[in-house]
Chain A
Amino acid sequence: MAVLLRTLWSNRTARAGVIIVGLFLLAISVGGALMPYSATDMDFLNLLTPPAWTHPFGTDSFGRDVLTRVLLGGRVSLAISVTGVSLAAIIGIPAGLAAAWYGNPIDQLLMRCADLLFAFPSFVLALFLMVVLGFGVTNVILAIALVYVPIFARLARNLALTVREEAYVQAARLMGQSTARILGREILPNIMAPIMVQASISIAFGVIIEAGLSFLGLGVQPPTPSLGVIMADGREYFNQGPWVLTLAGLFISFGLLGLNLLGDGLRDLTDPKLREKTTS
């Protein structure tokens, strides 16, 4: 872990990503507790007050502190995204490994299913699932998972196909290792780096999907704050209080920027052709 962090630190893009993601995580984990308000405290004497020292992001139409809501909402959004992406990885990676290892017909079957899911733009697919399954947090998680399962499956398959022919995998077969052990201990650790890159970028987009679905009123239901819910609120009275939508949006952008920089940095570090340039 320490080695990983040190390597990340040596790459400028990754370093920026680590700092931003670190600040973002710090803000949403302890920030909410440090704020003197709670996400649902209403103050009817201070409706839609612009940003000031007492309310750095202003208040919304119920007089709730926007910064508190954004910090707690960020936690909700990120938790939903991480859960959805983890679910996608847990299903997708073994499926991809199995497709690569066993070949046809399993490979064909799994990859055609992945193609089918790929054919839809991810947000349309997520919307479709919400309509079929109904609204709510669990279904947002499932929608995010469904969007990312084919991506993880295909990535794991393609990576495993290249590693599969390596001599050490053949040596493992000759040694009599079980298929599960070969896939889990010989192949998976050696394809993990690109998968981590994909995961960090997927978490960023998962936040966007969650925000989008909640913005449309399909996801997290008010008064629970999530970034999408806050922005949907802010849109209604944008003319009276533009800071609600704008600052919540900037907060999301900040987090996504960090996740994307982290992903790019990780990708640079794991690409051996770029490694020498970036680590020097």
Chain B
Amino acid sequence: MAEQSQTLIEVSRLVVSFAQSGGSGMFHAVDDVSLKVARGEVVGLVGESGSGKTTLAKTILRLYKPAAGTLQFEGCDITRLGEKALRPIRRQMQMVFQDPLSSFNPRVRIGDAVALPLRLHKPGPAHQIQSKVQDLLSRVGLGPQFAARYPHEMSGGQLQRVAVARALAVEPRLIVADEAVSKLDVSVRAQILNLLRDVQSATGVALLFITHDLRVARYLCDRIGVMFFGRLVEVGATADVFSNPRHPYTRALLSTLDDDDGGGLAALAPPAPASSGCRYRSRCPIARSDCAAHRPELQAVGDTHTVACPYVLSD
């Protein structure tokens, strides 16, 4: 029971599928994924583009409908809730998007964009909302003069700060940051990462951080989940995963960290993932014939470390 109340989100055997474009049949963007996020925890999801990490995160926020599996938020099953029933739960979950410019309505001033969630959730007199907006902006390091600007009059880094302020406005329990720094200049990235970390430690909000940049994940996250084509192949504490990676895919990823461009996943030459059994076997250096027979489940290799490959359990 005590452990139950520590869990903020419990995803179990989640499947998200989309109609395949140009063909018939369904494509599983997220395929049988189970994951827990505790209150106040910072969890990273890493994987190459197309691995389903964004889809998984957006499904947790119920922006997409899962095809199978269950989703629990604070013990409440939200798998099948309708848009209206989700509304009170949604204020506990916020998101910072990849593209800072498109995450703001181009016709709404910054101050109004931040004030809107306040007005929706805690209606109050106008001056009170105004001062709360200034307060939120200053918490993310922006002066009050920014409130009067339109999104296109601001830089990507400034907008991402506003996005954080807007997310904080409803005092959420979870913030999903979807590649929140990947479109920013390198010089600005560290500022936004520090902002996210400061905000996290100040408010105790749980953070689900999606990134293809392993360095970012290592810097920010308590735990890391590695995704490969819709499946979670390894989950563990950041230190464990980085010091003792088990899954061959994780190892391949980490080996790119030493490359010059640092942590980019583009360096991996990708043969198409296998369609049955272990999806990684077409690239895997230790693949065996029975890898095609059944899908490997996540199995424990340590207290908090699990891996979806039966041949690397003992090391």
Contact = CB atoms under 8 A, between A and B. Distances in A.
Contacts of A179: 83
A184 B91 CA distance: 21
Contacts of B98: 167
Contact of A170 (B63, B91, B120): B63
A34 to B, nearest CB: 41
Interface in B93-129: 93-95, 97-99, 102-107, 116-117, 120-121
A253 B305 CA distance: 77
Contacts of B95: 170-171, 174
A175 B170 contact: yes
A190 B106 contact: yes
A176 B91 contact: yes
B25 interface: no
A171 B104 CA distance: 8
Contact of B103 (A168, A176, A178, A189): A168
Contacts of B58: 170
B105 A186 contact: yes
Contacts of B88: 176
B87 interface: yes
Contacts of B105: 168, 172, 186, 189-190
A218 B268 CA distance: 72
B166 interface: yes
Contact of A173 (B90, B103, B106): B90
B83 A173 contact: yes
Contacts of A236: none
A177 interface: yes
A171 B83 contact: no
Contacts of B116: 175, 177
A174 B97 contact: no
B11 interface: no
Interface string A214-250: 0000000000000000000000000000000000000
A190 B97 contact: no
Residue picked from B90, B105, B106, B170, most chain A C-beta under 10 Å: B105
Interface of A: 166-168, 170-179, 186, 189-190
Given A167-B102, A174-B95, 10 more contacts: A167-B103, A170-B63, A171-B103, A175-B116, A176-B87, A176-B91, A176-B117, A176-B121, A176-B170, A179-B83
3 closest pairs, A vs B, by CB? Answer: A167-B103, A167-B97, A176-B87
12 contacts: A167-B97, A167-B98, A167-B99, A167-B103, A168-B103, A168-B104, A173-B90, A174-B95, A175-B116, A175-B120, A176-B88, A189-B105
